[in-house]
Amino acid sequence: MNKKRLIILCIILCVIAFSLPFIFFNEDKIQDNLILSFTALAAISTLLTLIVALLLYNKWSIDSFIIERQTDKVLELVDLLKGKVVYIGTKRFKYFSRFDVDDESYFKDKHYEEMSGLNIVMRKKDVDDIFDPIHSLCRSYWMPEEVKEAALFFEVIVLLEKVEAKEINSYAKLMLNTKEVKDDEWHTVVTMAAFGNMAIIPEELLNDETIIVNDYISHKNFLIKTIKNWLSAKSSIELDLRMKEIDGQIPKK
């Protein structure tokens, strides 16, 4: 029953309760009838209040259960990302990036401007270590829809053809472990971010949608903002997630 019908039903029942004493009892005893009417009205109001409270309690219980499950899943994602360091390596330098929202001044840094437009290459093990855990967790039924959408960037569709060693300096390497070996294979990457929830993705579009450094940074920031906004909306307590905190030491470069 929707809210409008419930209000109408309550009004009708109150009118009936107030009118009954005048219909079935002596019309000359107005004072007695008024007392009976107000008594009946009070009884009906108490009953209706109890019914509405029970309906609201049942709805609140279900909503509370769902929000609790969603919160647990979002905080599990926070635990996964908190303190994680991802390296972006170019020909000239290696930069490490944490899962926190970067300050605006970061985008004006000359090193960022130098690498922001470079295509990213990754090894499969780095996709497995960085992207897959985020994507797997965000596939959960309990993950809020807005967080799922913000995490689409971390759903890798395909690793394209291997980038040859002679060309590798034209790319930025995204990696969790900076240790490299001779047999490492580096690939450009395509993720779902460019395609949303398209069921079928034309193959000819894949080469045009490889991700660049700015894609990674902006989507990483957007995911963290979405998580923080969702938690803030569901809680009256101001949360400090301290996403930059690192447990243990930063891996050696």
Whether 9 contacts 55, CB under 8 Å? no
Looking at the structure, do residues 63 and 98 belong to the same domain, yes or no?
A: no
**Cα–Cα distance between 2 and 111 in angstroms, integer?**
58
The model carries a pTM of 0.71
Q: Domain span at residue 44?
A: 3-67
- Of 20-24, 90-94, 179-183, 224-228, the poorest mean pLDDT is in 20-24
Kindly state whether residue 153 falls inside one of the protein's structural domains.
Answer: yes
201 and 144 co-located in one domain: yes
- Among 57-71, 84-98, 126-140, where is mean pLDDT lowest? 57-71
pLDDT, tens digit (0-9, with 9 covering 90-100), for 122-146: 999 999 999 999 999 999 999 999 9
Contacts of 8 (CB under 8 A, 6+ apart): none
Contacting residues for 85 by C-beta, under 8 A, at least 6 apart: 96, 97, 98, 176, 246, 250, 251
141 and 217 share a domain?
A: yes
Q: Can you name the residues that pair with 180 across neighbouring β-strands?
A: none
**Number of compact structural domains in the chain:** 2
Instruction: Answer yes or no: do 52 and 86 share one domain.
Output: no
- Tokens representing residue 244 in the block: 């930059």
Question: Counting Cβ atoms within 10 Å, is residue 13 exposed (0-12), middle (13-18) or buried (19+)?
Answer: middle
Kindly state the percentage of the chain with pLDDT values over 70.
70
Count of C-beta atoms within a 10 Å radius of residue 34: 13
Residue 245 lies in a domain: no
- 168 and 63 within one domain: no
Average pLDDT value over all residues in the chain: 81
* Residue 17 lies inside a defined structural domain of this protein: yes
Could you tell me if 136 and 206 lie in one domain?
A: yes
Asked if residue 187 is part of any domain, the answer here is: yes
Q: Does 240 fall in a domain?
A: no
Q: Is the residue at 171 inside a domain?
A: yes
- The reply to whether 114 and 207 lie within a common domain is yes
CA distance 241 to 79: 9
| Whether the predicted pLDDT of 170 surpasses 60 | yes
Is residue 110 one of the residues assigned to a domain?
A: yes
Tokens (6 digits) for 46: 């108490």
Are 12 and 87 in a shared domain? no
Question: Please, what is the Cα angle at 51 between 47 and 55, to 5 degrees?
Answer: 170
The region that residue 186 occupies, defined by phi over 0 for left and psi between -120 and 50 for alpha, beta otherwise, is: beta
- pLDDT class for 248, splitting at 50, 70, 90? very low
> What are the start-end ranges of the E strands in 103-162?
120-122, 156-162
Average pLDDT over residues 26-35: 58
Q: How far is CA 18 from CA 33, 36, 42, in A?
A: 9, 8, 9
Place of tokens 């930059």: 244
Quick: pLDDT tens for 33-49.
556 666 766 767 777 77
Mean pLDDT of all residues in 193-215 = 76
Q: Reduced to 3 states, what is the DSSP secondary structure of residue 116?
A: coil
Poorest-pLDDT segment among 69-78, 91-100, 122-131 = 91-100
**Distances from the Cα of 242 to the Cα of 78, 99, 144, angstroms:** 10, 10, 21
- Token pair for 54: 């029970």
**Is 12 among the domain residues?**
yes
Q: How confident is the model at residue 249 (pLDDT cuts 50, 70, 90)?
A: very low
pLDDT at site 240: 75
Q: What is the mean pLDDT of residues 213-239?
A: 90
60, 160: one domain: no
Would the pLDDT of 191 be above 50?
yes
Question: Sorting pLDDT into bands at 50, 70 and 90, what band is 220?
Answer: very high
Residues 153 and 98 in one domain: yes
Under 8 Å between Cβ of 97 and 169: no
Q: Are residues 130 and 203 in the same domain?
A: yes
pLDDT at residue 26 above 60?
no
- 204 with 87, same domain: the answer is yes
